[in-house]
């Protein structure tokens, strides 16, 4: 089973070297290739990636996007790359060091035992999950969102977007990935798409640590966005983008 690991990055110069050091230290990770996607960072993220990957024992590349294509754009870019290079699975792990590589390893091991699973999604709010530095207010707010999603989706939903997920590439072909907006809530469309198409997915408890990270999403505005997406989906409408674009311009650096 071949696995491509995609690590989207935006202004995470203080965290990305910790992520890379964790990738080096965790044994038997079973990742075949890593792609870092630098979404027009204005800090030293690119330099940190190049310097820190010098002794990384996994083939890796850096995609420097010419424009900020957002989380959804990063997904579409590496999904196409995974298809072109015949990867069986695509793993996502955000470059801000909130999720942990040890959980990624556990998820890789689990999905190897579930060949027909479309997606294994990391969950911060499973009863077995661990959170550090995450406020009670945000926890309650996310649990409320998960409850609303569970009711309207008619199945238990314990996470709508942690940033640590693994997908089976060929199972995604029935989804209209290219038509979806590139915004921060892209993962919500994936979950709703899985349910609509009857694709099997499950959640995996993860640990989540917040210390020096800076969120790219406003909590209230993002909550309103995902609830609007859920309502449209429940009414039978698909969340499509008015500015569909497949051609992404980027420079590729072999690390």
pLDDT value of residue 215: 60
The distance of Cα 113 from the centroid of its chain, to the nearest Å, equals 21
Is a pLDDT exceeding 60 seen at residue 245? no
To which H or E segment does residue 209 belong? strand 207-209
Instruction: Evaluate whether 95 touches 216 at the Cβ level (below 8 Å).
Output: no
To which H or E segment does residue 33 belong? strand 33-38
Can you say whether the dihedral through the CA atoms of 222, 228, 233, 238 is positive or negative?
A: negative
User: What's the average model confidence in pLDDT over 237-246?
Assistant: 68
User: What's the average model confidence in pLDDT over 181-192?
Assistant: 92
To which H or E segment does residue 201 belong? strand 201-205
pLDDT tens-digit readout, 138-149: 899 999 999 999
Rg over CA atoms, the chain: 17
pLDDT value of residue 249: 87
| β-strand pairing of 60-65 with 33-38 | parallel
In this prediction, residue 213 has a pLDDT band, given cuts at 50, 70 and 90, of low
- What is d(CA 255, CA 232) in angstroms, rounded to the nearest whole number? 42
pLDDT value of residue 176: 85
- The three-state secondary structure class of 254 is strand
| Structural domains of the chain in order of their starting residue, each with its CATH number | 3-254 (3.90.550.10)
pLDDT tens-digit readout, 45-104: 999 999 999 989 999 999 999 988 888 999 999 999 999 999 999 999 999 999 999 999
User: What's the average model confidence in pLDDT over 118-137?
Assistant: 94
- What is d(CA 7, CA 164) in angstroms, rounded to the nearest whole number? 10
Is a pLDDT exceeding 90 seen at residue 220? no
């Amino acid at each position: 089973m071949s696995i491509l690991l995609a690590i989207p990055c935006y202004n995470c110069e203080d965290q990305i070297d910790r992520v890379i050091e964790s990738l080096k230290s965790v044994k038997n990770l079973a990742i075949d290739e890593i792609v870092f996607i630098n979404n027009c960072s204005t800090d030293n993220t690119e330099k940190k990636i190049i310097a820190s990957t010098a002794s990384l024992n996994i083939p890796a590349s850096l995609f420097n996007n010419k424009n900020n294509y957002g989380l959804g754009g990063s997904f579409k870019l590496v999904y196409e790359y995974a298809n072109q290079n015949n990867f069986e699975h695509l793993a996502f792990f955000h470059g801000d060091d909130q999720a942990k590589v040890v959980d990624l390893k556990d998820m890789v091991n689990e999905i190897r035992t579930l060949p027909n699973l479309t997606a294994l999604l990391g969950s911060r709010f499973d009863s077995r999950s661990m959170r550090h530095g995450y406020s009670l207010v945000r926890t309650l707010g996310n649990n409320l969102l998960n409850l609303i999603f569970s009711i309207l989706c008619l199945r238990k939903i314990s996470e709508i977007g942690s940033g640590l997920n693994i997908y089976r590439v060929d199972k995604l072909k029935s989804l209209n990935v290219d038509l979806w907006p590139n915004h921060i809530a892209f993962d919500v469309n994936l979950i709703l798409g899985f349910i609509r198409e009857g694709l099997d997915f499950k959640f995996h408890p993860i640990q989540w640590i917040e210390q020096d990270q800076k969120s790219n999403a406003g909590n209230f505005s993002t909550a309103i966005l995902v609830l609007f997406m859920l309502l449209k989906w429940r009414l039978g409408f698909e969340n499509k983008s008015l500015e569909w674009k497949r051609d992404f311009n980027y420079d590729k650096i072999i690390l």
